[in-house]
Amino acid sequence: MTTETLTIGKALNLGLRKAMEDDAKVVLMGEDIGKLGGVFRITDGLQKDFGEARVVDTPLAEAGILGTAAGLAMRGYRPVCEIQFDGFVFPAYNQIVTQVAKIHARSQGTMPMPIVIRIPMGGGIGAVEHHSESPEAYFAHTAGLKVVAVSNPVDAYWGIQQAIASPDPIVFLEPKRRYWEKAEVDLDATPDPLFASRVVRGGDDVTVLAYGPMVKTALQAAAAAAEEGRSLEVIDLRTVSPLDLDPVVESVRRTGRCVVVHEAPTSLGLGAEIAARITETCFHSLESPVLRVGGYDTPYPPSKLEEEYLPDLDRVLDAVDRSMGF
Amino acid sequence: MTALPEATEMVDPVPGAAAPHLPPERGVDTVQLLTPEGDRVEHPDYPLDISDEELRGLYRDLVLVRRWDAEATALQRQGELGIWASLLGQEAAQVGAGRALAEGDMAFPTYREHGVAWTRGVDPLHVMSLFRGVDNGGWDPVATRFNLYTIVIGSQCLHATGYAMGVQRDGSEDAVLAFLGDGATSQGEVNEAMIFAASFSAPVVFFCQNNQYAISVPLERQTRVPLYQRATGFGFPGVRVDGNDVLAVLAVTRAALAAAREGQGPTFIEAFTYRMGAHTTSDDPTRYRLASELEEWKLRDPIARLKAHLSRSGVADAQFFDAVEAEADELAVRIRRGTVEMPDPAPAGMFDHVYAEQTPYLAAQKAEFEAYHASFEGGHQ
C-alpha cells in the first residue's frame, strides 16, 4: 500500500499525471497551465514532462478552448480543459451547452465527447468579482453533461482520473478554497465509483447534504451539533448530475428530516431539485419540509461581505434547528 | 454628475444607401477561371489541370444538387419538410470546395452545405431527414468525414480548428475544411477559431461563402473591408474567388488544402456568391433586397456558365446533357419517395444517445415514458 499525504491541489496534479501516463490521447488545455502550472498550480510540472503538444497554453479565449476541445475529441483525443475561475466559464457556455453536451446525441452515438472541464468553484478566498461563483446548476440543467464536485484529496486524485476515462463530457468542480487541505491518499486503493454519493458521517436526527466546498462546513456543523446532543448524518453528494439519491433516500426515511447546503444561489439551485425528489420519494417519512441553505439570490457580493453570503456552520445549524422544531 | 443632453431626434449613425451586392470586376482581387459567359481564362497562381471527365463530373454534380434542392423546396411547400435551407446559386462554391477534398480530409459544414454533402457521398435522404424532423442528420460523420450540420452560427469553425490540431498531433497529412457564411464572420467564436488556427498553424481552411446576406442583413453591416482581407489581421493568407465559378473554387480550395497539408497553416477563402433563393423556406427576401439585384446574378449562374463552356469546347454534347437531366429527374423521384415514406422515429429513441454511458435516472425516465405510452389501449403512437 502506497499512502501519501496530499492536498487537494496536489492530488489533482498527481491524478492528471497518472491519466496522462495511462492514455497518450489525454491533452490538457487552458490558460497559463504550461510554464506557470496554472494559477492554482494544479498542472505544475506537467508541460515540462509531457511537452507542449499535450499541455497546451491556449490563446486567452474560453470558447476557443472548449470549441477546439470538441474538435480534438472528434479526432479521438481526450481533452481536459482548465477554466481559470468559475465566472470565466460563461464565454465558453455556448460551446459547452449547444455543442459539447449535444454532439453525442446529435450524432446518434457516433461522436463521443470525452471532455473534462475543470473549474475551480466557489468563494471564500477574498477575490474580486467573477472569481467565487458556483455555476453547477447551469450545467446540471443541460442534458448530455455530467457534473461532479469533489470535496477531498482522495476523491480529487481518483475522480479526475475517472472523469478523464469517462466517455461523456464532465464538468469537474474543484473546491478552490479547499485546494490546500490535506488528507492521506492510498494510491493503490480501489476507488469508489465517480457517480455515487457517500455517507461521510452517520447520524439519526437530520440528514445534511452537501458537495464540494460545503462538505467540510456540513461536517463542522455535525461536530458542533453533536456537542449539543444532536446527531446529524452528513452525505457528500459527490455527483451533482446525475444525482445519486439512493443513500439519501435511505437516510431521510430514517431521519425524517433533510437540509441541503450549497454555495450557489438558493432559488432553482440543486437544493430545489433535491427537495422535490425527496418529497416525491420520502413523503410519508418526512417529519419536516426539506430545507435549503444556500447563497442568496444576489450577485456574489464584494469579498468583505462574502462571509455573510456563504453558508457557514451557524447557518447550517440554524436550519437544523428549524427542521427539528417544525 | 452631469446630465446627458436630451435627445430630440434619433440620429442614424451610419447614413447612406446599401452597397450594391454585385460581383467585383474580374481581375480585381478575385480569382476566376471561367467567365460568366463560359470562357476559360487562366490565373497565374491557380493553374488547373482537369480532365474532360472531371469537367463533366462537376457539371453533373451541379445539376443534381440543384435538382435535389428544388425538390426539397417543393416538398417543404407541400408540408413534407418542416423547413429547407436552399443552396440555390451557391452550387459551384459548394461542389468546387467539396471536390477539392481528399478522401481523408474532414469537412465541417453549416446547415446549407447540401452540395458538399453530395460530394462526400452522403445520401440526400440523410439530409432530408434532418429537415423533416426525423433526426439531426442521419449520416455517420466519422465514416463520411463530413460533420453533422452545425446550426449555431460559426461554432463549427472551432471544431474544425480543434480537429486540425488533432491531425497535427497524429502527424497525419489530412486537412480540414471549415464552412461559414458572411454573417458568421461577426461571431466571436469564428474569430477565436482563426486565432487558434493561426497560433498553432493548424491545417484548416476557412471557406466562407459570402452570399451577401445574413438572412436579411446585408454584408456591409458585418464588415467594412472585403472579407478576405480580414485574414491578414490573423496572420494568414486570404483569397477571394468567384464563388459561381466551380473551376476557380476547385483550384483555390485545392491549393489552400495543399498548403495546410504542407504545414503552412490556415487560409481564408472568400467565395463571392449570391443566395438566389430565400434564407430558408420561412424567409421572404422581397422585404430586404431588390429584384434587380437577383436579375444581375442570374446572368452569373454557376451552371449556365459551365454548360456553355462544355458545349463550346466540345467536352460534352446534347446527349450528355440529356442524360444528366434524366438522372436528375430520377434523383428527384428517389428523394421525393424516400422523404414521403420516411418513417417517424421511435419515440423512446430520444433517450438513447444522450450519454455514451446512460445514467440510471435517465434510464428510469425512459422506462416511465414507455410505461406511460403502453398504458394506452393498443399503445400510443
pLDDT in tens, A252-293: 999 999 999 999 999 999 999 999 999 999 999 999 999 999
Catalytic residue selected from B66, B240, B279, B300 = B279
Identify the CATH number of the domain in which residue A65 sits: 3.40.50.970
Distance of CA B146 to the CA centre of its chain: 12
- Same domain, yes or no: A240 and A178: no
Using the 8-state DSSP alphabet, how is residue A2 labeled? Answer: -
Using the 8-state DSSP alphabet, how is residue A291 labeled? Answer: E
- Say yes or no: A78 contacts chain B, CB-CB below 8 A: no
Instruction: Tell whether the model's pLDDT for residue B380 goes beyond 80.
Output: no
Instruction: Tell whether the model's pLDDT for residue A33 goes beyond 60.
Output: yes
Quote the cell numbers at residue B174.
Answer: 489530412
- Same domain, yes or no: A105 and A224: no
**Is A40 contained in some domain?**
yes
H-state helical runs in A107-200: 136-140, 153-165
Instruction: Tell whether the model's pLDDT for residue B26 goes beyond 70.
Output: no
Interchain CB distance below 8 Å, A143 and B188: no
Q: How far apart are CA A75 and CA A63, in angstroms?
A: 18
> E strands along chain A, which residues?
3-7, 26-30, 55-57, 78-82, 116-121, 146-149, 170-175, 182-186, 198-201, 206-210, 232-236, 239-241, 258-265, 291-295
Pick the CATH number of B52-340 from 3.40.50.970, 3.20.20.100, 3.40.50.1820, 2.40.110.10: 3.40.50.970
Q: Residues A217, A223, A228, CA angle at the centre, nearest 5°?
A: 125
Interchain CB distance below 8 Å, A59 and B155: no
Facing A168 at nearest CB: one of B155, B157, B355: B355
Band of the pLDDT at B220, cuts 50, 70, 90? Answer: very high
Does residue B193 contact residue B160 with C-beta atoms inside 8 Å?
yes
Q: How far apart are CA B321 and CA A48, in angstroms?
A: 63
pLDDT at B238: 98
Interchain CB distance below 8 Å, B359 and A242: yes
Query: In chain A, which residue's Cα lies nearest the Cα of B142?
Result: A110
Q: How far apart are CA B232 and CA A115, in angstroms?
A: 33
In this prediction, residues A14-38 reach a mean pLDDT of 98
Question: How would you classify the pairing of strands B217-218 and B213-214?
Answer: antiparallel
pLDDT at B6: 76
Q: Cα distance from B276 to chain A (closest Cα, Å)?
A: 30
pLDDT at B4: 79
Interchain CB distance below 8 Å, B356 and A109: yes
| Domain region containing A34 | 3-186
Q: Cα distance from A81 to chain B (closest Cα, Å)?
A: 13
**3-class SS string, chain B:** CCCCCCCCCCCCCCCCCCCCCCCCCCCCCCECCECCCCCECCCCCCCCCCCHHHHHHHHHHHHHHHHHHHHHHHHHHCCCCCCCCCCCCCHHHHHHHHHHCCCCCEEECCCCCHHHHHHCCCCHHHHHHHHHCCCCCCCCHHHHCECCCCCCCCHHHHHHHHHHHHHHHHCCCCCEEEEEECHHHHCHHHHHHHHHHHHCCCCEEEEEEECCEECCEEHHHCCCCCHHHHHHHHCCCEEEEECCCHHHHHHHHHHHHHHHHCCCCCEEEEEECCCCCCCCCCCCHHHCCCHHHHHHHHCCCHHHHHHHHHHHHCCCCHHHHHHHHHHHHHHHHHHHHHHHCCCCCCHHHHHCCCCCCCCHHHHHHHHHHHHHHHCCCCCCC
Annotated active-site residue B21? The verdict is: no
Q: B151, B168, B173, B354: best mutation site toward chain A, by most A Cβ within 10 Å?
A: B354
Interchain CB distance below 8 Å, A63 and B192: yes
Q: Which residues of chain B are at the A interface, by a Cβ-Cβ cutoff of 8 Å?
A: 106, 135-138, 140-143, 147-148, 150, 152, 155, 157-170, 188-189, 192-193, 195-196, 199, 352-357, 359-362
A103 contacts on B by Cβ (under 8 Å): 148
B357 contacts on A by Cβ (under 8 Å): 166-168
How many residues does this entry show for chain A? 326
Sign of CA dihedral B320, B321, B322, B325: positive
DSSP calls for A78-107: EEEEEPSSGGGSGGGHHIIIIIITTHHHHT
Instruction: Tell whether the model's pLDDT for residue B27 goes beyond 90.
Output: no
pLDDT at B23: 73
Quote the cell numbers at residue B239.
Answer: 483569397
pLDDT at B8: 74
- Same domain, yes or no: A36 and A178: yes
Interchain CB distance below 8 Å, B155 and A94: yes
Facing B155 at nearest CB: one of A53, A95, A109: A95
Quote the cell numbers at residue B258.
Answer: 495543399
pLDDT at A21: 98
- Same domain, yes or no: A172 and A254: no
- Same domain, yes or no: A305 and A231: yes
A277 contacts on B by Cβ (under 8 Å): none
pLDDT in tens, B33-47: 999 999 999 999 999
Facing B353 at nearest CB: one of A99, A108, A146: A108
**Is A191 contained in some domain?**
no
- Say yes or no: A98 contacts chain B, CB-CB below 8 A: yes
**Is A192 contained in some domain?**
no
pLDDT at B22: 78
Residue whose C-alpha is closest to residue A157's, from A29, A51, A2: A2
pLDDT at B11: 76
Instruction: Tell whether the model's pLDDT for residue A124 goes beyond 80.
Output: yes
**Is A317 contained in some domain?**
yes
Q: A20, A56, A66, A106: best mutation site toward chain B, by most B Cβ within 10 Å?
A: A106
Q: A23, A74, A75: best mutation site toward chain B, by most B Cβ within 10 Å?
A: A75
Instruction: Tell whether the model's pLDDT for residue B381 goes beyond 70.
Output: no
- Same domain, yes or no: A24 and A118: yes
| A11 against B293, higher pLDDT | A11
| Helix B52-77 vs helix B302-313: crossing angle, to nearest 10 | 150
Instruction: Tell whether the model's pLDDT for residue B55 goes beyond 70.
Output: yes
How many CA atoms are closer than 13 Å to the CA of B365, on its beta-carbon side?
13
The domain total for chain A is 2
Question: How would you classify the pairing of strands A239-241 and A146-149?
Answer: antiparallel
Interchain CB distance below 8 Å, B166 and A243: no
pLDDT at B19: 66
Asked if residue A242 has a cis previous peptide bond (ω within 30° of 0), the answer is yes
- Say yes or no: A70 contacts chain B, CB-CB below 8 A: yes
Does residue B113 contact residue B120 with C-beta atoms inside 8 Å?
no
pLDDT at B12: 73
Using the 8-state DSSP alphabet, how is residue A77 labeled? Answer: -
Question: How would you classify the pairing of strands A198-201 and A232-236?
Answer: antiparallel
**Is A287 contained in some domain?**
yes
**Is A244 contained in some domain?**
yes
List the beta bridge partners of residue A117: A81, A171
Facing B199 at nearest CB: one of A53, A59, A195: A59
- Same domain, yes or no: A74 and A182: yes
Instruction: Tell whether the model's pLDDT for residue B331 goes beyond 80.
Output: yes
Does residue B243 contact residue B90 with C-beta atoms inside 8 Å?
yes
Quote the cell numbers at residue A72.
Answer: 480534438
Interchain CB distance below 8 Å, A104 and B356: yes
H-state helical runs in A123-188: 136-140, 153-165
Instruction: Tell whether the model's pLDDT for residue B16 goes beyond 70.
Output: no
Q: How far apart are CA A208 and CA A219, in angstroms?
A: 9
Backbone angles phi, psi at A30, to 5 degrees: 165, -175
* Residue found under cell 454534380: B61
- Say yes or no: A57 contacts chain B, CB-CB below 8 A: no
Identify the CATH number of the domain in which residue A259 sits: 3.40.50.920
How many CA atoms are closer than 13 Å to the CA of B70, on its beta-carbon side?
12
Q: Cα distance from B142 to chain A (closest Cα, Å)?
A: 7
- Same domain, yes or no: A172 and A260: no
Band of the pLDDT at B1, cuts 50, 70, 90? Answer: low
A94 contacts on B by Cβ (under 8 Å): 152, 155, 189
Interchain CB distance below 8 Å, B141 and A70: no
pLDDT at B63: 98
pLDDT > 70 in chain B, percent: 95
- Count A/B contacts: CB-CB distance under 8 Å: 136
In this prediction, residues B116-134 reach a mean pLDDT of 98
Average pLDDT, chain A: 98
Interchain CB distance below 8 Å, A146 and B167: no
A144 contacts on B by Cβ (under 8 Å): 354-355
pLDDT in tens, A191-241: 999 999 999 999 999 999 999 999 999 999 999 999 999 999 999 999 999
Catalytic residue selected from A104, A130, A131, A262 = A131
**Is A208 contained in some domain?**
yes
- Same domain, yes or no: A206 and A133: no
Instruction: Tell whether the model's pLDDT for residue B18 goes beyond 80.
Output: no
Sheet of B176-181: strand order equals: B106-108, B176-181, B204-210, B267-272, B238-242
Residue whose C-alpha is closest to residue B253's, from B54, B93, B69: B93
In this prediction, residues B329-347 reach a mean pLDDT of 98
In this prediction, residues A71-87 reach a mean pLDDT of 98
A76 contacts on B by Cβ (under 8 Å): 166
Sign of CA dihedral A64, A65, A69, A72: positive
CA torsion B349-B352-B353-B356 (nearest 10°) is -170
Q: How far apart are CA A216 and CA A74, in angstroms?
A: 39
pLDDT at A1: 79
- Same domain, yes or no: A208 and A150: no
pLDDT at B25: 63
Q: Does the complex come out with an ipTM higher than 0.90?
A: yes
Does residue A167 contact residue A114 with C-beta atoms inside 8 Å?
yes
Q: How far apart are CA A67 and CA B110, in angstroms?
A: 15
Interchain CB distance below 8 Å, B354 and A95: no
Instruction: Tell whether the model's pLDDT for residue B48 goes beyond 60.
Output: yes
- Say yes or no: A51 contacts chain B, CB-CB below 8 A: no
pLDDT > 70 in chain A, percent: 100
Annotated active-site residue B279? The verdict is: yes
pTM comes to: 0.96
Does residue A71 contact residue B163 with C-beta atoms inside 8 Å?
yes
- Same domain, yes or no: A43 and A70: yes
pLDDT at B169: 98
Band of the pLDDT at B379, cuts 50, 70, 90? Answer: low
- Say yes or no: A50 contacts chain B, CB-CB below 8 A: no
* Residue found under cell 456553355: B308
- Same domain, yes or no: A28 and A101: yes
- Say yes or no: A154 contacts chain B, CB-CB below 8 A: no
Instruction: Tell whether the model's pLDDT for residue A89 goes beyond 60.
Output: yes
Which residues 172-231 of A have a C-beta within 8 angstroms of B? Answer: 195
Query: In chain B, which residue's Cα lies nearest the Cα of A143?
Result: B354
Helix (H, G, I), strand (E, B) or coil at A177: helix
Interchain CB distance below 8 Å, B159 and A67: yes
Lowest mean pLDDT, pick from A47-51, A161-165, B23-27, B79-83: B23-27
Interchain CB distance below 8 Å, B170 and A110: no
A64 contacts on B by Cβ (under 8 Å): 158, 189, 192-193, 195-196
Backbone angles phi, psi at B198, to 5 degrees: -70, -45
Quote the cell numbers at residue B111.
Answer: 446547415
pLDDT in tens, B71-115: 999 999 999 999 999 999 999 999 999 999 999 999 999 999 999
Q: Which long-range contacts (CB under 8 A, 24 or more apart) does B336-342 make?
A: B336/B71, B336/B75, B338/B124, B338/B125, B338/B128, B339/B75, B339/B80, B339/B81, B339/B125, B339/B128, B339/B132, B340/B75, B340/B80, B342/B125, B342/B128, B342/B129, B342/B132, B342/B134
